[in-house]
Structure 1
Amino acid sequence: MTAVELVQPPADVHVDAVGSVRRARRRRGTVVTGVLAAVAGALFVLTMMVGDYAIGPVQVVASLLGLGDDPGADFVVRDLRLPVAAAALGTGLALGFAGTIFQRLLGNPLASPDFVGVSSGASLFAVSMILLGGGAGLAVSASALVGAVVTAVIVYVLAFRGAISGYRFILIGIGVQQLCTSLISYVVARADVFEAREAMTWLVGSVGRAGDTELAVLWVTLVVLLPLALVLSRSLATLELGDDAAKALGVRVERSRLVLLAVSVALTAVAVAVTGPLLFVALVAGPIAHRVLGPASSGGLLAAGCVGAIVLLGADLVAQNLLPTPLPAGVVTGLLGAPYLIWLLASVNREGRGG
């Protein structure tokens, strides 16, 4: 009986196979992200088309580019609808990036600025400015920005024990969030009816309240931080391998983690300062992007930002045009996000991934 010789394929065959898989994943990621960006752009234009005064897509684009010849349409598009659409697009991008960084960095699908105290801290400072400081407009937005940063620093300091554990960070963040929520209820309960109503309106979250200054701050922040987040995404992918592996690959773990957290907190803080706390956008953007990207999910930051923009632009369209009474976008994101959170909690519990 003759022995069967096992012939090993040449090493370059393995290299070619791996390279082919990587190129296919990269192409899929590029195509899917491009489609998501196109959908977000279409919703951005659609937001400026619909309303009591309907405008065609060509006319909207012409007005945006300064090529329109209808002063009435230009006024509606540029002065009335563009600020709302720009706030929804920018805030959705910011929350999509921030939520995905939190979830990947802390290794938990429940990790989100909504649930680790950042948004609630911003809300506490903003409501306190409305009810106790008599502030409005830019003062409230600035207070929300400061509140988000202060709360994030408190959570980080309390969670730091030589290193940051995702489980400990989330638990402490939830505790700080509950404290901020209780303080908000206390402040609102002591206010008169008119001021309490104003505070509760802010707490719902709306993309229609931003002024020119707030929008300028939002987009300048995005121009600076989104490219930085994309540059840092490589170290984020390495950190997902674990601290030991990341150190072996030359990554300064705690410094990289701190920078990524700072970028995420800054994006969340500016978004909440502009629109108020829009719940669940940051929570759902990353998982949806991961699902549609599939094997190409390693490049998910930009895709998650596009998903966040799609969710928020779509929520505002529904809230303003498909409901019997126009409502803030935060009502719709809350209604859509709550069932997802319940499903996520149940699935995480079944899979034992809660910690």
Structure 2
Amino acid sequence: MKNKTVAFIMAGRRQRRRRWILVTSFLALLACALCCAMLLLGSTIYPIQDVVRALSGENIKGVSFALNTIRLPRMLAGLFAGFAFGLAGNTFQTMLRNPLANPNVIGITSGSSAAAVFCIIILHTSNAVVSIASVVAGLATVTIIYLLSRAKPFSVGRLILIGIGMQAMLNAVISYLLLVGAEQDIPTAFRWLSGSLNGSQMHELPALVISVLIGTPIIVMLGKHLSVLELGEQSAASLGVNTDLTRMVLILSSVCMIAIATATTGPIAFVAFLSGPIAKRLVGVGFSNAIPAGLVGVNLVMAADLVGQFAFEVRFPVGIITGILGAPYLIFLLIRMNRKGNL
């Protein structure tokens, strides 16, 4: 009887692992296909062989310029920013055990956005300064939220409420800046606030790539602790997890990725909010959905960018398309949580 029980548990675990591998592989292949589409498609559709030759360093008239200056930076920005938004959003939602606890809702991206708009409208600074200010403001915002909510015992609800209040205040600051700003600066600010891959340049990407390459292994290595934190503060502490240290490392890793991604592409709406739930539904329970959530973020950003470029007569920034997708889900989630008495 005991052997049958063990065999049944192991069979279930193998089935869940196969599902995780299949889903993750599918998401990775879909991301690769979307990467190829972003390189091939544009105002001119280039043959695959010309794109490969241009990527290998050969100078092909028209193709090399369009690829290296416009399409490749745009694709890489979507790839790494999407992964950063998806992974960080899933980390917040899992750690705080609440689907509303993501950087978009609790004010982190609003802090980055307020700093960027201030630099664009008031200080008239360069893109580099806007990016630096955006990262610093994002880190400062999450620090303030965490310190204000750090009473004992730690309360997820308290952190979310403080974050929502911070978001409302920062959005009011953004609205004020847009009202008092010069007319010629408003389009630039709105383009940044909408979240867009337009104008992405290679020299802006190293910080984003480095943050993802450093933050991803940290979050993956802390995956078991993250799963334990999902059980609750007291359960995690009783199992030997240093909850404060683990939470701080996870928050810093996630916020660095979110802040730098926001500084690079602007606050692409709802990617961090949608990626975790979609990945969890696809992967199921039993294994970490950190990497699948990052890949879902990649696919959302790239697919939305392609839709925004080619599905309409007017080209829309990627943030507009993801906002259209995310807003109904947010309303649905709020209604469901209210019915369950979680609000």
| In structure 1, distance between residues paired with 2:60 and 2:180 | 50
Q: Which residue does 2:299 correspond to in 1?
A: 310
Structure 1 residue 68 displacement after superposition:
5.5
Indicate yes or no: 2:119 matched with 1:129.
yes
Of 33, 36, 49, the match for 2:40: 49
| Counterpart residue type for residue 172 of structure 1 | I
| In structure 2, distance between residues paired with 1:12 and 1:247 | 33
| In structure 1, distance between residues paired with 2:230 and 2:183 | 48
Of 3, 12, 15, the match for 1:21: 12
Indicate yes or no: 2:90 matched with 1:100.
yes
Q: Report the RMSD for the aligned CA atoms in angstroms.
A: 1.5
Structure 1 residue 324 displacement after superposition:
0.8
Structure 1 residue 61 displacement after superposition:
4.1
Structure 1 vs Structure 2: percent identity of aligned residues?
37
Assess if the C-alpha contact under 8 Å between 2:149 and 2:159 holds in 1.
yes
Assess if the C-alpha contact under 8 Å between 2:104 and 2:269 holds in 1.
yes
| In structure 2, distance between residues paired with 1:185 and 1:294 | 41
Q: Which aligned pairs between 1:51-66 and structure 2 lie closer than 5 A? A: 51-64=42-55, 66=56
| In structure 1, distance between residues paired with 2:12 and 2:57 | 45
TM-score by length of 2: 0.96
| Counterpart residue type for residue 26 of structure 1 | R
Structure 1 residue 192 displacement after superposition:
1.3
| In structure 2, distance between residues paired with 1:253 and 1:261 | 12
Q: For residues 210 and 73 of structure 1, do their structure 2 counterparts lie closer, same or farther at Cα, with a shift above 3 Å needed?
A: closer
Moved over 6 A (4+): none
Does the residue aligned with 1:174 lie in a helix, a strand or coil? helix
Indicate yes or no: 2:304 matched with 1:334.
no
Indicate yes or no: 2:308 matched with 1:319.
yes
Q: Which aligned pairs between 1:1-355 and structure 2 lie closer than 5 A? A: 9=1, 11-64=2-55, 66=56, 70-296=60-286, 298-354=287-343
Larger of the two Rg values belongs to structure: 1
Structure 1 residue 19 displacement after superposition:
1.6
Structure 1 residue 59 displacement after superposition:
4.0
Structure 1 residue 62 displacement after superposition:
4.5
| In structure 1, distance between residues paired with 2:218 and 2:53 | 32
Structure 1 residue 144 displacement after superposition:
0.7
Structure 1 residue 136 displacement after superposition:
2.4
Deviation string, structure 1 residues 295-329 (Cα, Å, up to 9, x no partner): 45x32010000000000001110111111111211
| Counterpart residue type for residue 313 of structure 2 | P
Assess if the C-alpha contact under 8 Å between 2:69 and 2:201 holds in 1.
no
Assess if the C-alpha contact under 8 Å between 1:46 and 1:57 holds in 2.
no
| In structure 1, distance between residues paired with 2:319 and 2:210 | 24
Structure 1 residue 74 displacement after superposition:
2.9
| In structure 1, distance between residues paired with 2:140 and 2:57 | 45
Structure 1 residue 166 displacement after superposition:
1.1
Unpaired runs of 5+ residues, structure 2, are none
